[in-house]
Structure 1
């Protein structure tokens, strides 16, 4: 029988994977409850392991003479890879683990007992982060010392209780936290279903309410004046037009031929598999004849689709993205509408041809320069679909990184280059990290092998290009993700 905790976990996983769950309703409910408690309990040793890994790594790097400010730089990324999370999430999990171990012992105890989820523990830590250690320990004791205190309490109510208690303990700390929060105002974007996206603004409450009220008031006024668009459509179009400094499209002339539009959006570069693509503007499918579409936006947006999808009615999905915005897949029919709407307008449009081999690998480019030139940088961004190549990281590309560093004779080539976010590029500079491009069969996609200081190995395979036939994993090399370290890996 396995004696290590890691081995016991593997044995338990094997038992659960083959378990007969039965059919009796009462037993099924008990199973659901027990498994949920098991998940919550597992978070406690995960926190213990994260803190121990961080402490051990910092001690090891101190012995190696690494400056104090750089010790532990890659630990959060190691945790993220092990837990199949993004590096940003890995840093949050490490911070939570440290806080639970040092300042919130009762919260950790409730997790260890299977009574508190990791998310709810993170909520408790987040809402008390502005308090002193003494006050945080007081809130931790009041809410988590007795298990009955949290019985039946929803997450929203839990947040309200913590905030109320925090105000009683240190109102000034919350005021200072609100002031600091203003410096965190930002705008972000993420994909939404049906070729849409969420554009989110984090604003101080006063500005946010004022902006929403202004959009609401003007949209209602336009609706009362006979505009056929709904209130939500008008608010969205007003927001887009005002943010981009454009005129809002007017309702179409009822006498105009069906399908008459209001112009299209941005110029964009597109790529193809074996032939040419087309530069296109960003515009949704044609709206109803009497309802104008979204306003045209003069920003470059890349739409990458295969020649067959563009010219021969193919069904290969296309990719739509922009600088700093990871692409998302859209149906070929939608991409063709985007192309048509732009070519029918006065928006700038151009064609950029890209070529791939039968395995979907883009044609390589080379350069003698120390830094990646613009053309090669564009190539890497297209090959890596605008997203950091670290497994599980969804951050947009911010750095063009040499897989084998230049000081180790790494070349500035497409084969030795990859897109990375800032955090992942910095993490690999920590002692013990190593990246390389392994040998792979011909016509397989670009692959990066990462070895962490513990000897664990992770692979990242470049996304397949539009129009590329998806092949079984065995014909494409290893899938992105983790592989247990072998003796060969550790020796290397």
Structure 2
């Protein structure tokens, strides 16, 4: 049985899509479990079909705009995404619409998801156009029932078979991309990631595993395997298990610092942290810990920092640090990337002052897009 009675005419224009969305949101949901499950399945198909329509529209729009940077910027606004993510979405859309008809057909029919379609594009990114089409024709009709990992694995296998030399060259070239990154994790923890060549990465993990297995023999240790591996990594990287000197920039209100409020603080390069942890960082219980705390005081009512100004056209180091601490992330809507450049809101050439009120933190891509 039908879960919802669809309108007689299918939406074809933007206004009709909005009307259909309003109808869908206001429609009475089913009252039985079987109906709810059917509705969930139907909506998943609808999401995939909508993504396919969006792919075609994105590809056609991007093809009609001469400036790729402008196209990405406008798509970013339309999809409420960062310019960097929008540029990726434009690339995926053009590949699906112009080079991978079987994958796009599966997406249109709801047999696969938008994410799995992007995985198909990602795993065939460096193949020739002809071989990408072969992967699409072989795997595209089989996407129904394949999960995220299976799609990536199968696309990789076919690509390796078609261009084994390219796979080897990619593995060799990828070694220059080795890197270490950090990102926030829940509960004020961090995720430290190292991208290494396969042999070296496996060797590092094996060494940490051996250390954990050895520690597990000691019944008085009390730590779990994961804890020992994390502690060993820290000790071997820092060269000691003792606390190390660090500089921490805390953006914190005076009332939170004195314990009269619980307003969260902000650690530059990490994000928000609870007030008790901020106070602990500023006044560590370990007397041997060495920390240089740069306290950046914020007004408790607004969270704004105090004013700073310079007569230079280029933002000096102190004012630059101030703006980064104040804005924290790229101010472009939906971007949220780390700040890389400090920009005049009103250009210096137009009389804009080099001061905090006329400064904004932007990522490099957004600043270049703004200047363009």
Same topology, TM > 0.5: yes
What's the secondary structure of 1:319's corresponding residue? strand
Corresponding residue for 1:247? 240
Q: Give how far 1:37 is off.
A: 0.9
Partners of 1:118 and 1:422 lie apart in 2 by 28
State the superposition RMSD in angstroms: 2.3
Q: Give how far 1:366 is off.
A: 1.8
Corresponding residue for 1:189? 182
Unpaired runs of at least 5, structure 2: 1-8
Q: Give how far 1:180 is off.
A: 2.3
Q: Matched residue pairs, number? A: 363
Gap change, CA 1:298 and 1:310, over 3 Å in 2: same
Alignment partner of 1:162 is 2:155? yes
Partners of 1:191 and 1:150 lie apart in 2 by 34
Q: Give how far 1:234 is off.
A: 2.3
Mean Cα deviation higher: 357-366 or 165-174: 357-366
Residues 264 and 272, structure 2, Cα contact 8 Å, conserved in 1: yes
Gap change, CA 1:166 and 1:419, over 3 Å in 2: same
Corresponding residue for 1:340? 283
Alignment partner of 1:177 is 2:160? no
Deviations 1:239-285 (A, max 9, x none): 223323x3124xxxxxxxxxxxxxxxxxxxxxxxxxxxxxxxxxxxx
Unpaired runs of at least 5, structure 1: 59-70, 250-295, 431-492
Q: Give how far 1:346 is off.
A: 5.1
Structure with greater helix percent: 2
What's the secondary structure of 1:189's corresponding residue? strand
Partners of 2:117 and 2:11 lie apart in 1 by 30
Alignment match of 2:206 (pick from 209, 213, 231): 213
Deviations 1:113-145 (A, max 9, x none): 22221111011111112221111111111222x
Partners of 1:411 and 1:21 lie apart in 2 by 56
Residues 248 and 293, structure 2, Cα contact 8 Å, conserved in 1: no
Alignment partner of 1:361 is 2:304? yes
Corresponding residue for 1:403? 345
Q: Give how far 1:417 is off.
A: 0.8
Residues 120 and 155, structure 2, Cα contact 8 Å, conserved in 1: yes
Residues 346 and 358, structure 2, Cα contact 8 Å, conserved in 1: yes
Partners of 1:355 and 1:120 lie apart in 2 by 44
Residues 357 and 363, structure 1, Cα contact 8 Å, conserved in 2: no
Partners of 2:100 and 2:88 lie apart in 1 by 16
Gap change, CA 1:4 and 1:79, over 3 Å in 2: same
Alignment match of 2:228 (pick from 234, 249, 258): 234
Residues 72 and 90, structure 2, Cα contact 8 Å, conserved in 1: yes
Deviations 1:336-381 (A, max 9, x none): 2222316833514355453538433323222211110112112111
Deviations 1:134-189 (A, max 9, x none): 11111111222x4xx23322222222222222222221121122222222222111
Q: Give how far 1:237 is off.
A: 2.0
Residues 178 and 194, structure 2, Cα contact 8 Å, conserved in 1: yes
Gap change, CA 1:153 and 1:354, over 3 Å in 2: closer
